[in-house]
Amino acid sequence: MRVIDTHLHCWDQSRFDYAWLHGTDLPWRFTPDDIPDAAGIRAVFMEADCRVEQASAEAEWALGLGHARPPVVAAVAHAPLGDGDSAVAALESLTAIPGVTGVRRLLQDEPLGFFAHEQFLADLRAVGAAGLAFDACVRAPQLRELARTARSAPDTVIVLDHLGKPAGEDPAEALRGEWLDGIRALAACDNVVLKVSGLLPPDGPLDAVRPWVLAALEAFGPDRAVVGSDWPVSRRADIPYPRWFEFVLDECGLSAEEADRVGWRNAERIYRVVS
């Protein structure tokens, strides 16, 4: 299998502090070497929400895992967009690290209206000017606002994580609501890319999430979509690591050529991965 996993979290709590991990059942340390059956897969490291001042060191550490299996071939690091001068300094620091090709600031818990703040918009434009992509982790009610933001920063590539986290309701009902409206609004923005990730159901078959995957892929098309595992956050003991990629690429209506684009070709372009 030839795939670029565009959303692999790694961490080491002896090196970095992750407040959100405290008290969870997730492992104390996780690296690509903890993943079985990863032949043919390369990975983009996704920042794991450590303390802000540790972000550069976290990215450098993750990029040092390039000889692991799967190898880390690029990194999306944390950047404090919207926080004033600290964002400018962070972008300067991160662009000096070879292999950092994107940044993320978690937005899913920000109030509606946050995206319209001029400081955030200026920082988002600066991300594009620095040649970096921006991963946007938001929830369904924020999608339309993110679309307005995307139109205000047309030179910044924005990657929508986890399909905008559609609610785990009846798919037929959800596909008539604000999630689908938001997905379509984002798909109308040429600078937005879909990431098919983070949807592994907590139990039951993968078919449960197929309606969302199909609707999102139809809206964006195979030229503006990538795939990611969200391991180990979305890991399930009964579903092997490669299974999510097989499901998306082989069982959701993509041709072999389209599956290549979604599986790795688009990711090479967006995250500037060298073959």
Distance CA 217, CA 18 (A): 33
Instruction: Give yes or no for residue 134 having a pLDDT over 90.
Output: yes
Delimit the domains of the chain by residue range. Answer: 3-270
pLDDT value of residue 168: 64
> What is the residue-averaged pLDDT of the chain?
94
Instruction: Give yes or no for residue 175 having a pLDDT over 80.
Output: no
Cβ(11)–Cβ(21) under 8 Å?
yes
Distance CA 162, CA 228 (A): 8
- At residue 157 the predicted structure's pLDDT band, cuts being 50, 70 and 90, is very high
Instruction: Give yes or no for residue 200 having a pLDDT over 90.
Output: no
Cβ(157)–Cβ(169) under 8 Å?
no
- At residue 169 the predicted structure's pLDDT band, cuts being 50, 70 and 90, is low
Quote the pTM value.
Answer: 0.96
- Orientation of helix 143-152 relative to helix 178-187, angle to 10°: 10
> Which tens digits make up the pLDDT trace of 216-249?
999 999 999 999 999 999 999 999 999 999 999 9
Lowest mean pLDDT segment, chosen from 116-120, 136-140, 166-170, 216-220: 166-170
Tokens representing residue 199 in the block: 């949807």
Tell me how crowded residue 211 is: count the other CB atoms within 10 A of its CB: 16
pLDDT value of residue 67: 83
DSSP class of residue 239?
B
> Which tens digits make up the pLDDT trace of 108-128?
999 988 999 999 999 999 999
Domain 3-270 has CATH 3.20.20.140: yes
pLDDT value of residue 176: 75
Instruction: Give yes or no for residue 173 having a pLDDT over 70.
Output: no
Distance CA 95, CA 98 (A): 7
> Which tens digits make up the pLDDT trace of 1-21?
799 999 999 999 999 999 999
Beta-sheet pairing, 41-46 with 72-78: parallel
